[in-house]
């Protein structure tokens, strides 16, 4: 409390006295009422202390709930089943090795016995010649060579999980949204396919920042456009001139991301096979001679780029752009689990698992960090429009629960897949090719804002659509 010498009205008794200011409530009291005020504050403090002690006592006595115990029982059962499964598989492999070795020894012993009987017969009957001796000598050499060249065995470790994986999902981390309005709002362009500031021409990759500004790879216009939230026109922020191979020009950009740390944009300049960075209107080539398509940066600052011609995804540490590290594909073009066929858009989760739109294989692949091959998490059942199929998938996003969202290009819809499920579900679109608010024409880029609204680059309608979440 701070004392003053000026006489003012006491807040409590309303008498003109020497008063003292309370720094908590900023009211002035005479000395008597200030003492009473302090007593009241002291009583309130004791009430808070009592409430704290009661709560602490209840908290200390708190035990796991029946629901918690049930979950722990499930984990214990998973542990027991997994150990039993591993032990059973290990014993099966041991038996295979032992049985195989025994079969080889038995076969060799039989050949020795047969040869011994022939030797004994020739010796006892004394009826043999050079031909018989050469035969016996050849048989003995053959058995000796076979016994010295035991067929090799080895262990093959499958990169796929042998046991069912288990994880705990905290319900408070569950997204507040899982459905979207089926009629979209056009938030960028939709005014034809030209190069005016209120137009786009075949947009591909998109990026939404925290202010809901949209960064668009305007593919056929060879530029990157920033469309601020609720604006009717965009602003060209890269590739302002017609396409070309100068530093300030682009040729068919396919993706764009914003580096939040450096406040720069990074562009996949597909036509000129380079990844280029814009910072304060200055350009810098990060990666040269790469058939780039998709871009993403993880929370640790690593940059990932898909190479549609080499059929791989590489990872670079920011500032160190040498050869990079292959994190998906890299085993030639194909449809095996360790291969890709024209990879496009990519996504990286918090565990650094890489999700790849494996376009010409009509599937989305997930490559765990360090894995030698991926797993199919969407599609993979041939090109088609059934719920277990996708057709030339493009944009891909993954939510906190690991649900995968895919821009199903030829089916004009966005689908959601849960890992391990045989079928996906249609989230938006799926109403045929068209330009109505509930339709799309070849969707490409996908992105979510912080409120869960879904943004789709509507490629052939030359616009970006926003599907608002249903709360």
Instruction: Write down the pLDDT at residue 445.
Output: 97
Q: Please tell me the least confidently modeled range out of 216-230, 318-332, 437-451.
A: 318-332
End position of a domain, from candidates 170, 205, 237: 170
Decide: helix, strand or coil at residue 94: helix
Decide: helix, strand or coil at residue 260: coil
* Ordered alpha helix ranges (H), 183-237: none
- Residues found in the chain: 471
Give, in order, the Cα–Cα distances in Å from 50 to each of 24, 39, 44, 163: 22, 17, 10, 51
Considering its fold, how many domains does the chain have in total?
Answer: 3
Q: Is residue 322 part of a domain?
A: yes
Q: Are residues 136 and 261 in the same domain?
A: no
Of 248, 237, 244, 292, which Cα lies nearest the Cα of 268?
A: 292
Give dist(CA 420, CA 169) in Å, integer: 16
Side-chain half-sphere exposure of 451, counting CA atoms within 13 A: 11
Contact 189, 198 (CB under 8 A): yes
Q: Are residues 202 and 164 in the same domain?
A: no
Q: Are residues 198 and 252 in the same domain?
A: yes
Give, in order, the Cα–Cα distances in Å from 77 to each of 8, 63, 81, 151, 164: 75, 21, 6, 40, 12
Q: Is residue 67 part of a domain?
A: no
Decide: helix, strand or coil at residue 89: helix
Average pLDDT for 344-370 = 96
DSSP result, 45-87: HHHHHHHHHHHHHHHHT----HHHHHHHHHHHHHHHHHHHHHH
**Token pair 């997930």 in the structure block, residue:** 366
Q: Is residue 456 part of a domain?
A: yes
Q: Are residues 164 and 212 in the same domain?
A: no
Q: Are residues 107 and 53 in the same domain?
A: no
Q: What is the extent of the structural domain holding 53?
A: 8-58
* Ordered alpha helix ranges (H), 126-174: 130-148
Give dist(CA 164, CA 74) in Å, integer: 13
How many helices and strands (H and E) does the chain possess?
Answer: 3, 27
Average pLDDT for 73-81 = 87
Crossing angle between the packed helical segments 66-125 and 130-148, to the nearest 10 degrees: 160
Contact 414, 456 (CB under 8 A): yes
Contact 268, 288 (CB under 8 A): no
Q: Are residues 407 and 431 in the same domain?
A: yes
Give dist(CA 150, CA 369) in Å, integer: 38
Q: Are residues 283 and 204 in the same domain?
A: yes
Q: Are residues 282 and 368 in the same domain?
A: yes
Give dist(CA 31, CA 20) in Å, integer: 7
Q: Is 70 exceeded by the pLDDT of residue 422?
A: yes
pTM score, whole prediction: 0.67
What confidence tier does 250 reach under pLDDT thresholds 50, 70, 90?
very high
Instruction: Write down the pLDDT at residue 3.
Output: 46
Instruction: Write down the pLDDT at residue 135.
Output: 77
Q: How confident is the model over 377-411, as pLDDT tens digits? A: 999 999 999 999 999 999 999 998 889 999 999 99
What confidence tier does 78 reach under pLDDT thresholds 50, 70, 90?
confident
Q: Is residue 78 part of a domain?
A: no
Which backbone phi and psi does 147 adopt, to 5 degrees?
A: -70, -25
What confidence tier does 2 reach under pLDDT thresholds 50, 70, 90?
very low
Instruction: Write down the pLDDT at residue 63.
Output: 73
Q: Are residues 295 and 151 in the same domain?
A: no
């Amino acid at each position: 409390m701070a004392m003053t010498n000026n006489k003012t009205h006491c807040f409590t008794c309303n008498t003109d006295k020497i008063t003292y200011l309370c720094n908590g409530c900023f009211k002035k009291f005479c000395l008597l009422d200030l003492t009473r005020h302090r007593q009241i504050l002291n009583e309130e403090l004791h009430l808070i202390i009592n409430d704290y002690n009661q709560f602490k006592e209840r908290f200390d006595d708190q035990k796991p709930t029946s629901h918690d115990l049930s979950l722990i029982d499930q984990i214990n059962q998973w542990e027991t089943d997994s150990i039993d499964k591993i032990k059973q598989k290990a014993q099966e492999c041991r038996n295979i090795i032992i049985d195989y070795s025994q079969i080889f020894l038995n076969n060799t012993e039989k050949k020795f016995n047969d040869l011994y009987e022939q030797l004994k017969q020739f010796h006892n009957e004394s009826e043999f010649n050079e031909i018989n001796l050469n035969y016996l000598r050849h048989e003995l050499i053959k058995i000796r060579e076979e016994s010295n060249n035991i067929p090799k065995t080895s262990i093959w470790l499958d990169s796929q999980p042998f046991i069912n994986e288990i994880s705990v999902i905290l319900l408070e981390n569950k997204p507040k949204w899982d459905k979207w309005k089926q009629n979209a709002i056009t938030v960028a362009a939709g005014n034809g396919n030209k190069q005016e500031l209120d137009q786009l021409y075949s947009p591909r990759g998109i990026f939404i920042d925290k202010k809901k500004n949209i960064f668009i790879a305007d593919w056929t216009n060879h530029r990157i456009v920033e469309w601020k939230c609720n604006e009717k026109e965009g602003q060209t922020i890269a590739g302002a001139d017609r396409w070309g191979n100068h530093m300030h020009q682009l040729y068919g950009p396919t993706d764009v991301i914003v580096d939040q740390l450096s406040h720069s944009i990074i562009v996949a300049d597909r036509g000129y096979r380079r990844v280029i960075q814009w910072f304060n209107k200055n350009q810098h080539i990060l990666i040269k001679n790469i058939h780039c398509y998709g871009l993403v940066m993880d929370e640790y600052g690593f940059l990932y780029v898909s190479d549609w011609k080499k059929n791989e995804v590489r990872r670079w540490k920011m500032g160190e752009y040498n050869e990079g590290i292959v994190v998906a594909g890299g085993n030639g073009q194909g449809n095996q689990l360790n291969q890709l066929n024209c990879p496009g858009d990519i996504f990286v989760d918090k565990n650094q698992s890489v999700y790849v739109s494996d376009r010409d294989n009509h599937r989305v692949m997930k490559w765990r960090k360090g894995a030698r091959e991926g797993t199919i998490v969407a599609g993979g059942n041939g090109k088609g429009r059934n719920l277990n199929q996708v057709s030339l998938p493009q944009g891909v996003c993954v939510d906190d629960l690991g649900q995968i969202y895919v821009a199903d290009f030829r089916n004009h819809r966005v689908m959601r897949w849960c890992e391990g499920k045989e079928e996906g579900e249609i989230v938006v679109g799926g109403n045929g090719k068209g330009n109505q608010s509930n339709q799309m024409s070849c969707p490409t880029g996908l992105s979510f804002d912080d409120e869960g609204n879904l943004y789709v680059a509507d490629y052939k309608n030359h616009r970006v659509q926003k599907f608002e979440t249903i709360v």
